[in-house]
């Protein structure tokens, strides 16, 4: 089983602040996905990173895959209340998810 | 396009009763996943199918749980008999990818919230 550890577990910030959340493993992944889940809904796919060192941008969200393909980060610039949710990373042949980072952005 | 459809959205049942959860994947997707989510344990993979064949059921908690996929457009997850500790949100997801060594981009349904009293 390829374990994914996410940090921090909880994050509460004010609107307009920047933040970074992390997804780490001791295993190498061929690709890694990031999802956001809002209360009462299923996770929604945000991005897939495939190449070591790859950086992908989705509006104010920047995703990076580590050079060794063992870790990934998600950076949000100028966070907004609409970014509130549970951010999950997933990867590996066994389709495991990390425990997630629960983000709250206060207006 | 319709996404993954799950039914029912909410289920309340008494301990010992049989529960059947249903899922219709996105048309054309060849992989289907069943997950369970709780605050304590997060999102746990129960079982997944590729081309209607169960590939990995190591996450199924015990013999009380069973899953079937009789065709490409329908799957069920059954719990018999149900217990209070089965209370959770159960998600179905489908993916267009497949095959050994590949990672899967998954599209989730809205989930079924199960409460066993």
What is the pLDDT confidence band of residue B100, given thresholds at 50, 70 and 90?
Answer: very low
E runs forming strands in B25-111? 31-38, 42-50, 53-56, 65-71, 74-79, 88-95, 107-108
Instruction: List, for residues B76-94, the tens digit of each pLDDT value.
Output: 999 999 999 999 999 999 9
Is A42 in Cβ contact with B91 (below 8 Å)? yes
Instruction: List, for residues B21-49, the tens digit of each pLDDT value.
Output: 999 999 999 899 999 999 998 999 999 99
Instruction: List, for residues A88-106, the tens digit of each pLDDT value.
Output: 999 876 678 999 999 999 9
Q: Is the pLDDT of residue B73 over 60?
A: yes
Interchain CB contacts (distance < 8 Å): A and B? 54
What is the pLDDT confidence band of residue B101, given thresholds at 50, 70 and 90?
Answer: very low
Q: How high is the pLDDT of residue B98?
A: 59
Q: How high is the pLDDT of residue A80?
A: 97
What is the pLDDT confidence band of residue A2, given thresholds at 50, 70 and 90?
Answer: low
Q: How high is the pLDDT of residue A91?
A: 86
What is the pLDDT confidence band of residue B54, given thresholds at 50, 70 and 90?
Answer: very high
- List residues of A whose CB lies inside 8 A of any B CB: 29-33, 40-45, 48, 88, 90-100
Environment class of A40 (CB within 10 Å of its CB; exposed 0-12, middle 13-18, buried 19+): exposed
Contacts of A44 in chain B (CB under 8 A): 108
Degrees to nearest 5, angle at CA A52 with A72 and B58: 60
Residue in B with minimal Cα distance to A39 = B110
Contacts of A63 in chain B (CB under 8 A): none
- Please, which residues 13-72 of chain B have a Cβ atom closer than 8 Å to chain A? 33, 35, 42-43, 45, 48, 56
Max CA distance (Å), chain B: 41
CA gap A98, A5 in Å, rounded: 6
Contacts of A96 in chain B (CB under 8 A): 45
Q: How high is the pLDDT of residue B61?
A: 86
What is the pLDDT confidence band of residue B56, given thresholds at 50, 70 and 90?
Answer: confident
Q: What is the pLDDT averaged over residues A8-25?
A: 97
Instruction: List, for residues A52-78, the tens digit of each pLDDT value.
Output: 999 999 999 999 999 999 999 999 999
The minimum CA-CA distance between B17 and chain A, rounded to whole Å, is 25
């Amino acid at each position: 089983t390829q374990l994914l550890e996410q940090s921090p577990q909880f994050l509460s910030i004010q609107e307009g602040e920047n933040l970074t959340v992390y997804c780490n493993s001791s295993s190498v992944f061929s690709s890694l996905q990031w999802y956001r889940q809002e209360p009462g809904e299923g996770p929604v796919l945000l991005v897939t990173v495939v190449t070591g060192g790859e950086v992908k941008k989705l509006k104010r969200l920047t995703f990076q895959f580590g050079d060794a393909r063992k870790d990934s980060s998600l950076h949000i610039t100028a966070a907004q209340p609409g970014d509130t949710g549970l951010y999950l990373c997933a990867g590996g042949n066994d389709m495991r998810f990390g425990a997630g980072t629960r983000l709250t952005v206060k207006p | 396009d319709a996404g993954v459809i799950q039914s029912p959205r909410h289920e309340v049942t008494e301990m010992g009763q049989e529960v059947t959860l249903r899922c219709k994947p996105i048309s054309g997707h060849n992989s289907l996943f069943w997950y369970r989510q709780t605050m304590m344990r997060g999102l746990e993979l129960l079982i997944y199918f590729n081309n209607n064949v169960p590939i990995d059921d190591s996450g199924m908690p015990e013999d009380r749980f069973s899953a079937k996929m009789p065709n490409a457009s329908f799957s069920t997850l059954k719990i018999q008999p149900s217990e209070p500790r089965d209370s959770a949100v159960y998600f179905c997801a489908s993916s267009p990818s497949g095959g050994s060594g590949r990672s899967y981009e998954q599209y989730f349904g809205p989930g079924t919230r199960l409460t066993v009293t």
